[in-house]
Chains A and B, each alone.
Chain A
Amino acid sequence: MPDATGLELIAQRVRDSVAAEAVTGTAFYREEATLEVAPAAVHDALAYLRDAEDEPWPLLMSLHGCDYLPEEPRLAVHYQLLSMERVDRLNVKTRLGVEDPRLPSVVDLYPTANFQEREVYDMFGVVFEGHPDLRRILMPEDYEGFPQRRDFPMGGEPVMFTFNEDEYPRWYD
């Protein structure tokens, strides 16, 4: 892990090279470094971290969404970067509101993000602009709502049979 100082240095380099407002904060918690970036700057910041940084982060290990209800902005997408050379991890995080959440896709930088961005879209409703094939991946394609959001109720979902198929929202629209 980069230590707290190293994280600040990375943050400063991203500010210098991408945009001054690209980095919105840093957090160092339990030996893990988190770089918080603005949603619009995600693609540029990751492109910089992957290629142009003197100590690059060539691999994206995990991309996952998160709902911070009741905090605002509620949603977040985490990019867990890895450098196999230095055996080092960096968490890049971006926060975005629940109304029409949009992020630039990073599939062109990290092809592994394909399925994972689809999962975040499926579960949290974050639309990744520029994703080659943004569809639901785990839930049925006609499903309504984004089940991993914290205000989505747990349980109580009726089972669909042929006789009650038309009671389902948008099944026959």
Chain B
Amino acid sequence: MTDPLQVPYRERERSVTMEPLGEERLHDELFTINIGPHHPATHGVLRLLTTLEGEIVRDVKPIIGYVHTGIEKSCEDQQYWKAITFVERMDYLSYYYNAQAFCMAVERLLEEEVPPRAEYLRVLHLELNRVASHLFWIATAALDIGAITMLWWGCRDRDLVLDLFEMSSGQRIHTRYFQVGGVMEDIPPGFEAKTREFVKVMHKRLDQYLSLLDRNEIWLQRTKGTGIVPVERLLELGVTGPLLRAAGHPWDLRKAAPYSAYDQFDFKVPVGTVGDNYDRFRVRIEEMRESLGIVEQALDGLPEGPWITRNRKVALPPRHELATSMEALIHHFKLVTEGFRVPPGETYAAVESPRGELGCFVLADGSSKPARVHMRDPSFVNLQSLPDMAKDALIADFIACVAMLDPILGGVDR
């Protein structure tokens, strides 16, 4: 095969030809249109080259790369502890998961133990983040189908989670709360009470969502029986997360290969039966309930102890030690100027993000900067199933499929 780049750009452009259609073909004409890249229903800058026959979608080609910012490349120029800031900005709705995958990979390379309290705090924030991410998904997904109330409700309740994040880390999004070896700071006084209050409110809110959407004829018509892809095909396409679980495959990394402290929590993995858009909706709603349960369990069982490793070669010393300890000052200086070095090696760490398996590949060359960071982003891989979902669907159902796929273009393009 020849290298496609060898063909000059203008020549490739000229290969597009226009031919008049004959009279007899007027009614079976295939019509190719662009949806996007700037369309609110594409959830970001996603371009969908859609081939239509009347109002039926015959083929879709997702065209991506519009928000490619080279985060993976930028990480190669950052010390490990600074790269966390970068990876958080990939999938901008599930930033805790990006940080978790990256930190897990680096901790594995360093063979660094994370204290139990830090693991619990991580699980707590990860699950709050899952709720926030799903809330934003349901807000925008319902908006795509025309239910504007859901947008206000979803964003209102997501704000409650962001308030909690602000309390624990000082930031509402891109918190950089997870550090290599633990978390940045212990949770402040009052956080627990506020979180429990949120959990209580959120259960009620989920019932409200269901009463708003679950009996809504327009919602049901758009979601029930649309976008069905068989499990075997989903697995071939590498689709994971709620999309796979909605089709009835109970694969969840938190259960199957527990990382962090997930083996100490009691939760269920919701699965669907049909695998249509309605199942995807219900699976995510039930996932939020399970996440709220995990949050409560994390608060109940939160162990005492340090929230970050005591290894001063990896984690910054506490602020008060700097005034009294020369050692602490040296460690602080070394960490801030050079960062910590990671022994040469490579690893792939996977976590279950709200959209599926989020894997982080890190190659260390012995210096204090990673030689390669790659994120296996679930949105990027899941997007490949869109042509299968939308084949022979109405345009309106196709938009519902994009909404239920829940791609985050920051994660797709990285």
Within the complex, the shortest CB–CB distance from B327 to chain A, in Å, comes to: 29
Given A130-B1, A148-B72, residue A64 in contact with residue B381 (CB < 8 A): no
CA distance A78 to B360 in the complex (A): 13
Once the chains bind, are A112 and B9 in contact (CB under 8 Å)?
Answer: no
Given A110-B236, A111-B236, residue A29 in contact with residue B3 (CB < 8 A): no
Interface residues of B, CB < 8 Å — how many? 48
Once the chains bind, are B1 and A134 in contact (CB under 8 Å)?
Answer: yes
Q: Does A87 contact B (CB under 8 A)?
A: yes
Contact residues in A for B235 (Cβ distance below 8 Å):
58-59
> Which single member of B9, B76, B109 contacts A142 (CB below 8 Å)?
B9
Contact residues in B for A139 (Cβ distance below 8 Å):
65, 68
Contact residues in B for A29 (Cβ distance below 8 Å):
345-347
Once the chains bind, are A172 and B111 in contact (CB under 8 Å)?
Answer: no
CA distance A84 to B77 in the complex (A): 35
| Size class of the contact patch on chain A | 35 or more
In B360-406, the 8 Å CB interface with A consists of 361, 363, 371-372, 374, 376, 380-381, 383-384
Within the complex, the shortest CB–CB distance from A70 to chain B, in Å, comes to: 9
Given A115-B383, A137-B64, residue A87 in contact with residue B257 (CB < 8 A): yes
Q: Does A140 contact B (CB under 8 A)?
A: yes
Once the chains bind, are B361 and A64 in contact (CB under 8 Å)?
Answer: yes
CA distance A135 to B49 in the complex (A): 15
Contact residues in B for A87 (Cβ distance below 8 Å):
256-257
What number of residue pairs across chains A and B have CB atoms under 8 A from each other?
A: 113
Q: Does B413 contact A (CB under 8 A)?
A: yes
Once the chains bind, are B237 and A66 in contact (CB under 8 Å)?
Answer: no
Contact residues in A for B204 (Cβ distance below 8 Å):
none
What residue of chain A has the Cβ atom nearest to residue B61's Cβ? A133
- Beta-carbon contacts of A19-47 to B below 8 Å, as 1s and 0s? 00000000001111000000000000000
Within the complex, the shortest CB–CB distance from A93 to chain B, in Å, comes to: 9
> Which single member of A68, A115, A154 contacts B381 (CB below 8 Å)?
A115
Contact residues in A for B381 (Cβ distance below 8 Å):
112, 115-116
Given A61-B357, A66-B363, A110-B238, residue A91 in contact with residue B384 (CB < 8 A): no
Once the chains bind, are B359 and A141 in contact (CB under 8 Å)?
Answer: no
Once the chains bind, are B371 and A147 in contact (CB under 8 Å)?
Answer: no
Once the chains bind, are B65 and A137 in contact (CB under 8 Å)?
Answer: yes
Once the chains bind, are A112 and B4 in contact (CB under 8 Å)?
Answer: no
A-to-B contact residues, CB < 8 Å: 29-32, 58-62, 64-68, 78, 80, 84, 87, 89, 91, 110-112, 114-116, 119, 127, 129-131, 134-142, 147-148, 150, 152, 154, 170-173
Can you name 26 A-B residue pairings with CB atoms under 8 Å? A30-B108, A32-B348, A61-B238, A61-B376, A65-B374, A66-B346, A67-B371, A84-B256, A111-B238, A111-B384, A112-B239, A112-B381, A114-B384, A116-B381, A135-B4, A136-B5, A136-B65, A138-B414, A139-B68, A141-B9, A141-B12, A152-B73, A154-B73, A154-B74, A154-B76, A154-B77
B-to-A contact residues, CB < 8 Å: 1, 3-5, 8-10, 12, 64-65, 68, 70, 72-74, 76-77, 108-109, 111, 235-240, 251, 256-257, 345-348, 350, 357, 359, 361, 363, 371-372, 374, 376, 380-381, 383-384, 413-414
Taking A67-B372, A111-B384, A148-B372 as given, write out 15 further A-B residue pairs in contact, using a Cβ cutoff of 8 Å, ordered by the A residue number.
Answer: A30-B111, A58-B235, A60-B238, A66-B361, A80-B359, A84-B251, A87-B256, A110-B236, A111-B238, A112-B239, A114-B384, A131-B1, A135-B4, A147-B70, A172-B10
The 4 closest A-B pairs by CB, nearest first: A112-B238, A62-B376, A138-B65, A138-B68
